[in-house]
Structure 1
Amino acid sequence: MTERIRRNAARPSKRYMWALGAAAIVLGAMALDTKIIVIGSQHDVREQRFSAQTFGESEFPKIKENVEKRAVDAVELAKAIQEDKQTAGQKYGVATSTGPVFPVSFTGVVGERKSHYNTVAIEGLPPEINVRVQTGPALTGTDLRDSTGTIQFDQFTNQIEYQDAGSAINNQVKKAVLADIDPNALTGKTIAVVGVFKLVNPKSWIVTPVRLEVQ
Structure 2
Amino acid sequence: MAALVLAVTCATLQGCKIISIADETAAEQAKGAGITGRAAQAWTGEGAAYFAKAAKPVTEVLPAIRANLDDAGRTYGYRQAAEGAPWTFVVSGSGTVKAKNTQSRAGTLVVTLDGADPATDVTLQIGPVVRGNAVRDSLPFISFKDFENQLDYADMGKALNAEALKAIEGPAATLEAGGKVDFVGVISLSSSSEKVLITPVSLKAGT
TM-score, with structure 2 as normaliser: 0.72
Partner of 2:42: 59
Q: Which segments of 5 or more consecutive residues in structure 1 lack a partner in the other structure? A: 1-44
CA distance in 2, matches of 1:63, 1:139: 18
- 141-150 or 78-87: bigger deviation: 78-87
Distance 1:80 1:164 in 2: 32
Identity %: 27
- Tell me how far apart the structure 2 counterparts of residues 182 and 75 of structure 1 sit (CA, whole Å): 22
1:179 maps onto 2:166 in alignment: no
Residue type matched to 2:179 in 1?
A: K
Cα displacement string for residues 97-146 of structure 1 (whole angstroms, at most 9, x for unaligned residues): 35200010000101112331111100343559541111122222110101
Matching residue of 1:99: 86
2:171 is paired with a residue whose SS is coil
Report the counterpart of residue 162 of structure 1 in structure 2. Answer: 153
Structure 1 153/203 Cα, relative in aligned 2: closer, same or farther at 3 Å?
closer
Whether 1:198 aligns to 2:188 is yes
**Alignment TM-score, normalising by the size of structure 1:** 0.69
Is the CA contact (8 Å cut-off) linking 1:104 and 1:195 kept in structure 2? yes
Task: State the SS of the aligned residue for 1:213.
Answer: strand
Q: Deviations over 1:72-96 (max 9, x none)?
A: 1111112322333211101211125
The 5-angstrom pairing of residues 47-196 of structure 1 reads 49=31, 51-61=34-44, 62-96=46-80, 97-114=84-101, 115=104, 116-125=107-116, 130-175=121-166, 177-183=167-173, 185-196=175-186
C-alpha distance in 2 between matches for 1:52 and 1:127: 43
Change in CA separation of 1:88 and 1:112 when aligned onto 2, cut-off 3 Å = same
Which shifted more, 128-137 or 106-115? Answer: 128-137
3-state SS of the aligned residue for 2:53? helix
Distance 1:129-1:98 versus aligned 2 partners, 3 A rule: farther
* Stretch deviating more after TM superposition (62-71 or 100-109): 62-71
Cα drift, residue 182 of structure 1: 4.3
Q: Structure 1 residue 161: deviation in Å?
A: 0.5
C-alpha separation between the residues in 2 aligned to 1:73 and 1:131?
13
Q: Deviations over 1:144-194 (max 9, x none)?
A: 10102221111111111100001111111122x223234474211110001
Q: Which whole-Å deviations, capped at 9, do the CAs of 1:18-67 have from their partners, x for residues lacking one? A: xxxxxxxxxxxxxxxxxxxxxxxxxxx99x84622101111112223212
Q: Which has the larger radius of gyration?
A: 1
